[in-house]
Amino acid sequence: MSSFIKFWRNKLNAFLAHGLPAGERQLLSRFQAVSAREATVMMTAALVLGSSAGILSVGLNWSVHALREFSQDLEAGWMAIAFPALGAGLAVFMIRSMMKDFSGHGVSDVIMAMTVGSERLQRRMIFSRFFGSLFTVGSGGSTGLEGPIVCVGGAVGSAFGRWLAMNERRRKLLIGYGVAGAVAGIFNAPLTGLIFSLEIIVGEWSILTILPTIISAVSATEISRILMGNKIAFYHEIAGFSFVSLVACLGLGIITGLISIAFVRSLGFWENLFSGINKNPWIRATLGGLLVGIMGWQMPEILSEGYNVTQKFLLQTPDYTLAFMLLFVVLKFLACGITLGSGGVGGVFAPSLVIGSGVGLAYGMVLGKLPIDSLAEEAAFSLAGMAGMVTGVMHGPLTGIFLVMESTRGYSMILPLMLTASSAMVISSFFEVGSVYTRDMISQGSLIRRGTDRYLLHYMNIRDILDQDFNTVDPDLLLRDFIPIFQEARRNYFPVIEKENGACVGVVFLDDVRPYLFDKTLHELVTMGSIMRMLPVIRLNEPVSKALDQFENSDAWSLPVEENQRFLGMLSKSTLFNHYRRELQIQSH
């Protein structure tokens, strides 16, 4: 069976290689850069990933709601305070102790995998994030399912790419496809899955990122609709939006932008606080769950995802007072921070939406008390607040706009959503250099976006572009014995290699040899070791950006490359730049 799989893997890779450029001098056209064969294979893979992610999304969504209904039907009274503690403690114990998964909350891990390598998303993360979020959110933990399901979708894509023995570039594309399917399936929103994957995870817009991602999002959405029906998250009809209301959305965007900053920073505060309380992760999660349970005993609306509460805000606005809404926003803000900061498994997608809906509704209530004519209804500002909060937290305005628009089918809300999201983005980005997912990576200097110069240089494989068509010489080789070698050589340089350890001790260039060629008395005296140049050595595991610095500092056109102090080959500027130009053309299509 293994030989059969290996045979078809080789066939697949040969199929993908067809149509790509073969030589350095060959000009790359659009169809050479990204062949139709590769697009076909990747779209087929996206169909498989989207269907798989859709099934997992529906399974997680249904399981969480079933567990939540079961715990509520128990009618445990005040003992229900312990449910979030039990769920969070069990989730963290299972993930850390049983599954040995020590990674973060979810989306940040996926973005890091797109930066440092797809192997960061291990197969076990499919199960750890699925069951971890099931127990955390299903027991009442104040967080969302979207972060974990994004991680699940990305891990499925990574595992699928490794199973197909695809190269790193394609495996990262598969991660993006899996994420799109996961988000589209959980929200029943294909456009949101597409935009989130491209804007937040992949960060690149090209043929191989857009077209297969569409296939994945559509297939996941269709699976979701087949299994759970064509449901939308929030039902509401907006009568209209006047010019005055549009202007008011700018103020709402500023408010949600400021609250999103406080929300993102509070997560780090709670993580530091709980890490100082106890070193045992599952005990920290249990303590955090207990605090959330106590808060939920006083206001049950803050528990779990909170989407049902948001739906009530939209349909039963007169039933809520301004004081209740302000208290709800504060408690939900704290409950989510405690859940995630203590180590609970979940994401910030749902809390951002729910907090944003509460902020928007409270904002609409305040405006309603002012003598302003032609003001939109309060629930309309609740929807706009969702987009503002999501944008401020994730630094993804398109994701915020399309998420609210699709989850409510409120396409008439496009203008207020755009204004709120834009102003929230400006405020949030002014005070924060990155989103809730990327701020730590940016501070550490580890965030490298696809399609950028830094990305191309960082992930260029030096081993693939080494020059091998040259002659090597010994340090003790006499000029007399060197002359026949150089007469047949194709290069104007000759690496000098130690026989004992295979290390490169220098390089002889023809310009260095020429002064001695016409004095035959020197042919018996001059050795290669005496005229060689001492050049800096490039290590195989170094990024190409460092190699470029060595080229510039040494003013050399070719430098030796070693691995574990053994000479591998020569890296030339011309080969490096040709390869860079080819990769740039591939990435741009």
DSSP 52: H
pLDDT in tens, 529-539: 888 888 888 87
d(CA 169, CA 66): 39
Asked whether the domain spanning 454-588 has the same topology as the one spanning 243-451, the reply is no
d(CA 351, CA 270): 16
Q: What is the pLDDT of residue 457?
A: 60
Measured between its terminal Cα atoms, the distance across the chain in Å is 37
Could you tell me if 76 and 273 are in contact, meaning their C-beta atoms sit under 8 angstroms apart? no
pLDDT in tens, 371-415: 877 777 888 888 899 999 999 998 889 988 988 888 777 677 888
Return the top range by mean pLDDT from 115-129, 203-217, 400-414: 203-217
Q: What is the pLDDT of residue 213?
A: 92
CATH class of 34-228: mainly alpha
Q: Which of 539, 544, 531 is nearest to 577 (CA)?
A: 544
Q: Are strands 558-563 and 504-509 parallel, antiparallel or unpaired?
A: unpaired
pTM over 0.85: no
pLDDT in tens, 262-310: 999 998 898 888 888 877 888 888 898 899 888 888 888 888 888 888 8
Domain ranges of the chain: 34-228, 243-451, 454-588
Domain 454-588 sits in CATH at: 3.10.580.10
pLDDT in tens, 471-485: 788 888 887 888 888
Percent of the chain that is helix, strand, coil (3-state, to 5): 70, 5, 25
Residue 276 phi, psi (nearest 5) = -85, -15
Query: How high is the mean pLDDT of the chain?
Result: 80
When comparing pLDDT for 270 and 464, which is higher?
270
Give the CATH superfamily of 243-451. Answer: Clc chloride channel (1.10.3080.10)
DSSP 377-418: PHHHHHHHHHHHHHHHHHS-HHHHHHHHHHHHT-GGGHHHHH
